[in-house]
């Protein structure tokens, strides 16, 4: 075990012991699904190499198990996801998302695209099951840019999150509109999306849960048109040591407890805060975007609320014509 991993595990144990644990009530949480997965025999047959590993929060697990475990988490929290986001961020996540969409300005004709899009943008919102970003995108295109052609495909690997998004869409003008579609898909293998067809690829608070982030970035590059934009809103690294200490105290101490009291599911929210801690720094993630082939404007990211979250962008190069 590395020194960094040992410190992370020690921090989790400290916060679990420092905060009271309320009595658990029966709830459809991910724990039973995870226990079933862990009971499966993952030891390799004699003569075969050990399975590849990855992290699930602070745990090291077989790579093949991560998709199932993450899926169980989000199936558990789907119905209470935005409520919990409000409680965890004190409502600030809504301001971050509004800023993210305004910054991208869907429905306009930015210079990064090779030609004006008379028929609107084709936006792919990955891991966007509840529709939170998609609805904002369509509202902005329609109400700010008078664009009634821009369309969003919401893609998510989790059917429970997609079901929540479809239900919420019924309260919007886009429920039965061709401008909004939902698609169950794995961001690491978007086989149903052709090459060079997407104007804007967005992912908000989702990429940290992917098993293979590099593969997802390569798929984003493949499906985007030349000049198309990759845009990611994700939790990141706080850039002030005192603020960082306070933020971690809140994250590891309060959030799992709130998850237990409000949603009846401490374990899912424990994983969520651990996944934030394990996500690459702003510089590291910018370099991953570059390695996937994107051009990165400026320093590559914009910090929000002292680095609690950050917006990252990459532009697919416009191919030169002979």
Q: Is 109 helix (H, G, I), strand (E, B) or coil?
A: coil
pLDDT digits (tens, 9 = 90+) for 142-158: 999 999 999 999 999 98
Beta strands 198-204 and 309-315, pairing class: unpaired
Residue 232, pLDDT score: 98
Q: Output DSSP code: residue 299.
A: T
Query: What distance in Å separates the CA atoms of residue 123 and residue 3, rounded to the nearest whole number?
Result: 42
Ramachandran sector of residue 6 (left: φ over 0; alpha: ψ -120 to 50; beta: rest):
alpha
Distance of CA 33 to the CA centre of its chain: 21
Residue 251, pLDDT score: 84
DSSP letter string, 224-243: EEEEEEEEEEEE---SSHHH
Residue 56, pLDDT score: 43
Give the helix ranges, DSSP H, for 78-202: 81-89, 92-104, 132-143, 159-169
Distance of CA 272 to the CA centre of its chain: 11
Give the helix ranges, DSSP H, for the chain: 3-18, 31-39, 63-77, 81-89, 92-104, 132-143, 159-169, 213-223, 241-249, 255-263, 266-278, 282-291
Task: Count the neighbouring beta carbons within 10 Å of the beta carbon of residue 240.
Answer: 11
Query: CA torsion, points 40, 129, 313, 147, in degrees to nearest 10?
Result: 160
Beta strands 59-62 and 224-235, pairing class: unpaired
Residue 39, pLDDT score: 40
C-alpha distances in angstroms, 182 versus 131, 141, 207?
Answer: 9, 19, 18
251: nearest Cα among 275, 273, 235, 272: 273
Residue 46, pLDDT score: 55
Residue spans of the domains in the chain: they are 91-236+279-315
pTM metric for this prediction: 0.77
pLDDT digits (tens, 9 = 90+) for 46-80: 555 556 655 444 455 455 554 555 555 555 555 66
Instruction: Name the phi and psi angles at 172, rounded to 5.
Output: -120, 170
Burial class of residue 255 (count of CB atoms within 10 Å of its CB; 0-12, 13-18, 19+): buried
Pick the CATH number of 91-236+279-315 from 3.90.78.10, 3.90.1150.10, 2.40.30.10, 3.40.50.150: 3.40.50.150
How many alpha carbons fall within 13 Å on the CB side of residue 107? 21
Q: What is the pLDDT along the chain (322 residues), one digit of tens a residue?
A: 555 555 555 555 544 444 444 333 333 333 333 344 334 444 455 555 556 655 444 455 455 554 555 555 555 555 667 777 787 778 899 999 999 999 999 998 754 454 555 579 999 999 998 899 999 999 999 999 999 999 999 999 988 889 999 999 999 999 989 999 999 999 999 999 999 999 999 999 999 889 899 999 999 999 999 999 999 999 999 999 999 999 888 888 888 888 788 767 777 778 788 888 889 999 999 999 999 999 999 999 999 999 999 999 999 999 754 4
Burial class of residue 239 (count of CB atoms within 10 Å of its CB; 0-12, 13-18, 19+): middle
Quick one: which H or E segment has residue 55?
A: strand 53-56
Q: Using alpha carbons only, what angle is made at residue 220 by residues 219 and 224, rounded to the nearest 5 degrees?
A: 115
123, 106 contact by CB (below 8 A) = yes
Instruction: Name the phi and psi angles at 285, rounded to 5.
Output: -70, -35
């Amino acid at each position: 075990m590395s020194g960094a991993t040992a410190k992370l595990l020690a921090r989790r144990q400290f916060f679990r012991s420092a905060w009271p644990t309320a009595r658990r009530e029966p709830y459809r949480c991910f724990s039973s699904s995870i226990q079933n997965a862990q009971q499966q025999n993952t030891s390799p047959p004699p003569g075969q190499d050990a399975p590849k590993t990855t992290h699930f929060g602070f745990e090291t697990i077989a790579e093949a198990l991560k998709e199932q475990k993450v899926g169980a988490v989000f199936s558990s929290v789907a119905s209470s996801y935005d409520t919990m986001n409000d409680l965890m961020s004190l409502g600030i996540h809504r301001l971050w998302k509004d800023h993210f969409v305004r910054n991208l300005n869907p429905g306009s004709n930015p210079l990064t695209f090779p030609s004006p899009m008379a028929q609107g943008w084709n936006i792919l919102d990955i891991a966007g099951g509840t529709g939170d970003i998609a609805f904002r995108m369509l509202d902005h295109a329609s109400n700010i840019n008078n664009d009634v052609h821009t369309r969003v495909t919401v893609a998510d690997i989790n059917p429970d999150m997609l079901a929540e998004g479809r239900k919420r869409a019924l309260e919007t003008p886009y429920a039965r509109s061709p401008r909004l579609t939902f698609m169950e898909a794995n961001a690491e293998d978007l086989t149903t999306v052709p090459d060079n067809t997407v104007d804007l690829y967005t992912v908000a608070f989702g990429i940290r849960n992917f098993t293979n982030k590099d593969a997802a970035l390569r798929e984003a590059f493949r499906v985007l048109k030349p000049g198309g934009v990759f845009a990611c809103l994700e939790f990141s690294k706080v850039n002030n040591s005192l603020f960082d200490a306070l933020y971690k105290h809140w994250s590891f101490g309060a959030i799992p407890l709130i998850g237990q009291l409000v949603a009846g599911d401490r374990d899912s929210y424990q994983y969520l805060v651990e996944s934030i801690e394990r996500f690459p720094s702003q510089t590291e993630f910018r370099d991953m975007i570059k390695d996937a082939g994107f051009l990165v404007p400026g320093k590559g990211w914009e910090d929000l609320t002292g680095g609690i979250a950050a917006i990252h962008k990459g532009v697919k190069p416009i191919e030169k014509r002979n």
